[in-house]
Amino acid sequence: MANSRCLLNSLTRQVTTFLFRNSYPSLQSFSVSPHFPNPSTPLPIFTRPISAFAQWPHLRYFSSDKPIDHSNEIEDEDEEDDFEDEEDYESGEEGEDYEGDNESVSSRKKVYTEEEKEAEASAIGYKVVGPLHKEDNVFKPYEPVFAVVQIGSHQFKVSNRDSIFTERLKFCEVNDKLILNKVLLVGSNSQTIVGRPTVPGAAVHAVVEEHALDAKVIIFKKKRRKNYRRTKGHRQELTKLRITNIEGIEKPQNVVVEKPSKAAKKEQQKIAVTA
């Protein structure tokens, strides 16, 4: 049994050398001795040939080659990266990046030019004239004239000295004078002018009194048998406007009717009794 094992070992060694040699010898070069070798004599030691799979990247799949542990290299690279990050943090480079990010976020707010402001305001239905000064006498006595004005998607029936609340108007501050361009209808005691869709030459002047918040509205959502309940609150931003003048229609003159005095009333009563 021992002799047969030795013979098998020698044959396997010779076959492996034949398979993995760079120059393949002929089969005739192999000579197997008919006699069994003496177990006491040592077997010839074959030098390890260069493997044909020496350049194979995954060496751990071959039992003859020892697996290479790459975990140490990965750990070393992670330590180097951490060390570089610490140096950047200490030197302030990372802080500069954060500042740059904050600047980019703040720069995302759109900056409007004067032309863009005028175009967007005119699309809503108003035009900013400028701030109100003490010398401006814009508040006039009541006049029997009314107008229907469109601001955004809402329509308002206004007359002189009325105050209305609209959705928050951009590009205007408190005490700014406005001109409302989208006048749909103008009327008085004597005539009425209907626009198609707006009345040409008509305008309504107003002053911004304040920017305020509307009353709180509760939004409650529920889905039965789903344990779903959501409660939210909302306060709409509003702008209060004071109407100062309406243009584009002939205004009737205010006829002041004098009230009779008490003495005249008593005389009329006496005449009626005597009669």
Q: What is the pLDDT of residues 165-200, one digit of tens each?
A: 999 999 999 999 999 999 999 999 989 999 999 999
Coil/strand/helix, residue 51: coil
Q: What is the pLDDT of residue 238?
A: 97
Rg (CA), the chain: 50
Nearest to 148 by CA among 207, 201, 101, 202: 202
| pTM (2 d.p.) | 0.54
77 — pLDDT class (breaks 50, 70, 90): low
Which pLDDT tens digit goes with each residue over 109-160? Answer: 788 999 999 999 999 999 999 999 988 888 888 899 999 999 999 999 999 9
Residue 90 to residue 254: CA distance in whole angstroms: 80
Q: Identify the pLDDT of residue 178.
A: 96
HEC string for 145-176: EEEEEEECCEEEEEECCCEEEEECCCCCCCCE
Q: What length is written for the chain?
A: 275
* Alpha-carbon dihedral angle through residues 62, 65, 69, 74, given to the nearest 10 degrees: -70
